[in-house]
Amino acid sequence: MSDTINVSYDTQIPNNVGLSSDRRVLKALEKWHPGYLDWWKGQGPDGFQESLVYLRTAVSVDPKGWAKFDYVRMPEYRWGILLAPQVEGRIIPCGEHYGEPAWQEVPGEYRSMLRRLVVIQGDTEPASVEQQRFLGKTAPSLYDMRNLFQVNVEEARHLWAMVYILQKYFGRDGREESAELLQRRSGSDEKPRMLGAFNEETPDWLSFFMFTYFTDRDGKMQLESLAQSGFDPLSRTCRFMLTEEAHHMFVGETGVGRTIQKTCERMREAGIDDPTDIGRVRDLGVIDLPTIQKKLNLHYTLSLDLFGSEVSTNAANAFNAGIKGRYRENKIDDDHRLQDATYPVSEFTDGKIVVKEVPALTAINMRLRDDYSRDALGGVKRWNAIIRKHGFDFELTLPHEGFHRQIGTYTGAPITPEGEVITPEEWAARRDEWLPSKEDGDFIASLMKPCWEAGKYAGWIAPPRVGIDNKPGDFEYVQLHMA
């Protein structure tokens, strides 16, 4: 009986998919491996490849074994191929094939659609590593540095996960796509990454936290819907990726929360009652709440764009084909085919926002985006609880869906964060009230001074309430060994 829970280390590539008896795929991956390592060394965290980082590595995909912690040098991290256990008798959960046994091989008629989905998902993984490669140098603590690197190695493992699917199921095309994934670069003019938000810079740690909270949450939702795929290997891959993705959500939510915490604490100490007294707050060396709101506005709206057009035939086709489900498809109580159902979608026409009922099948993106917004709201509530606890009258909010959009019905629409339609001139004039200005960016950048003594934190961020793996406060999460 082959062991599909525990990770096998009998090839160079740790895996629970029996790679050692799959010579063709093993060979293809071994061929891809050196290029991958070159990519990691060139595009991974800059200046920390020799440091010992307290990372978790999966030794099995069941709950007891996938979070084992130890010090490791990042280039020696055991990137591997881990699929959640196969569910006996799993069915295609949606679309016209609903109820048929899940595919174990790529269904021919959906081959190119499936390939494109896998490539787009795969492309985001290395992109975020590239975006974050210089952040280590300004880490506000060894704890945060460790969390950044954990996110980085796991994003890179997610690249492996997608490359495995490509190599195993897509033959020559898959090999070529796998090579391309190592060639595109975030922010490059010639060969940029495929999605807009993944070509933006991550210039500072607040951006990083906002990115992991808002943009990685888009990733989570995409993985959730691919985990509902009728193509079983993709579903199993994504299910395991989701357990890792949770850590990224954690880094974002607590990172922003700790920033807010510190700002509130310092304002209280200094006797500042008005959180909008930006100058005085900034003099304390902490990030004022209005600026945090602006960062939130930026990252939330960039992330909304990642969901694509509200009404989309591509999304309808993928759902109908059964290769991409809705969020928690298997928990939804309906016909899973959406033959007659409708879904409300906003539209921006003639300078007005109108809500229309459209066929639910074409509104798959919109529905996933709504689920995303609900999910994103949870953390905002927690952040507001911190502000309230310190007695300040200030509330962070998610901006209106029409604000600052580049994709879909609202593209370029002059809409305020409150959802009011104004003139393009007024919008342009007021832009800096809502989105980070260059001056805001400069101020945040001025706080980004490294703090690398075990147990110490930069002045703008509070320590975490609980250590990673229950470690004590002064635990040395990264042993630097700087060259």
| Among 27, 280, 382, 481, contact with another protein (rule: CB under 8 A) | 382
Secondary element (H or E) of residue 70? strand 68-73
Beta strands of 300-417 (E only): which ranges?
342-349, 352-359
**Is residue 7 involved in binding another protein (CB under 8 A)?**
no
Q: Write the CA distances from 469 to 143, 436, 473, integer angstroms.
A: 11, 35, 11
Q: Is residue 331 a contact point for another protein (CB under 8 A)?
A: no
345-374 residues near another protein, rule: CB under 8 A: 374
Binding-site size, another protein (CB under 8 A): 37
Closer residue to another protein, CB minimum distance, 242 or 480: 242
The answer to whether 88 contacts another protein (rule: CB under 8 A) is: no
Cβ-based nearer residue to another protein, 9 or 134: 9
Using the rule CB under 8 A, which residue among 30, 62, 393, 439 binds another protein? 62
245 binds another protein (CB under 8 A): yes
Q: Nearest approach, Cβ of 301 to another protein (angstroms)? A: 21
Beta strand extents in 376-423 (DSSP E only): none
Task: Tell me: does residue 78 bind another protein (CB under 8 A).
Answer: no
Distance between CA atoms of 347 and 314, rounded to whole angstroms? 19
* Other residues' Cβ atoms within 10 Å of the Cβ of residue 172: 7
Question: In this complex, which beta carbon is closest to another protein, that of residue 227 or of residue 315?
Answer: 227
Judged by CB under 8 A, which stretch of 61-69, 160-168, 264-272, 292-300 contacts another protein?
61-69
Residues 6+ apart with CB under 8 A from 297: 399, 403, 404, 417, 434, 435
60 binds another protein (CB under 8 A): yes
- Residue 176 binding another protein, by CB under 8 A: no
Q: How many CA atoms lie within 13 A of 262 on its CB side?
A: 23
Least gap, CB of 250 to another protein (angstroms): 4
State the binding string over 428-467 for another protein (x if CB under 8 A, else -).
Answer: -------------------------------------xxx
Among 130, 232, 253, 329, binds another protein (CB under 8 A): 253
359 contacts: CB under 8 Å, gap ≥ 6:
316, 338, 341, 342, 343
**Is there binding between residue 73 and another protein (CB under 8 A)?**
no
Q: Smallest Cα–Cα separation from 327: which of 374, 368, 377?
A: 368
86 sits near another protein (criterion: CB under 8 A): no
**Residue 87 engages another protein in binding (rule: CB under 8 A):** no
- Bridge partners of 54, per DSSP, are 71
Q: Helices 364-389 and 289-305: crossing angle, nearest 10°?
A: 170
Task: State the amino acid at position 310 in one-letter form.
Answer: E
DSSP string, 346-379: EEEETTEEEEEEEEGGGGHHHHHHHHHHHHHHHH
CB of 159 to another protein, least distance (A): 20
In whole angstroms, how close is the CB of 53 to another protein at the nearest point?
Answer: 16
Give the CB-side neighbour count of residue 179, counting CA atoms within 13 A: 7
Q: Provide the minimum distance between the beta carbon of 69 and another protein in the complex, in angstroms, as a whole number.
A: 8
Q: From 333, 95, 92, 339, select the one nearest 229 (Cα to Cα).
A: 92
What are the Cα distances from residue 340, in Å, to 98, 310, 362, 416, 455?
15, 18, 11, 35, 58
Is the Cβ–Cβ distance between 193 and 278 less than 8 Å?
A: no
Q: Which run of H or of E encompasses 479?
A: strand 478-479
Residue 355 C-beta: closest distance to another protein, Å:
22
Q: How far is the CB of 167 from another protein (least distance, A)?
A: 27
**Range 114-153, binding another protein (CB under 8 A):** none
Question: Which residue, 68 or 431, has its beta carbon nearer to another protein?
Answer: 68
Distance in Å, CB of 395 to another protein, minimum: 15
For residue 32, the minimal CB distance to another protein (Å) is 28
The three-point CA angle 373-417-267 to 5° equals 90
CB of residue 247 vs another protein: minimum separation in angstroms? 4
Q: DSSP letter string over 137-206? A: GG-SSHHHHHHHHHHHHHHHHHHHHHHHHHHHHSHHHHHHHHHHHTT-BTT-SSSB-SSGGGGS---SHH
Q: Is the CB of 98 or the CB of 250 nearer to another protein?
A: 250
Q: What's the min distance (Å) between Cβ of 67 and another protein?
A: 4
200 is a site residue for another protein (CB under 8 A): no
Q: Which listed range, 10-18, 180-188, 240-248, 422-430, lies at the site for another protein (CB under 8 A)?
A: 240-248
Nearer Cβ to another protein (220/337): 220
In angstroms, the CA 241 to CA 220 distance is 9
The residues that touch another protein, with contacts defined as CB under 8 A, are 3, 5-6, 60, 62-67, 69, 239, 242-243, 245-247, 249-250, 253-254, 374-375, 377-379, 381-382, 385, 465-467, 469-472, 475
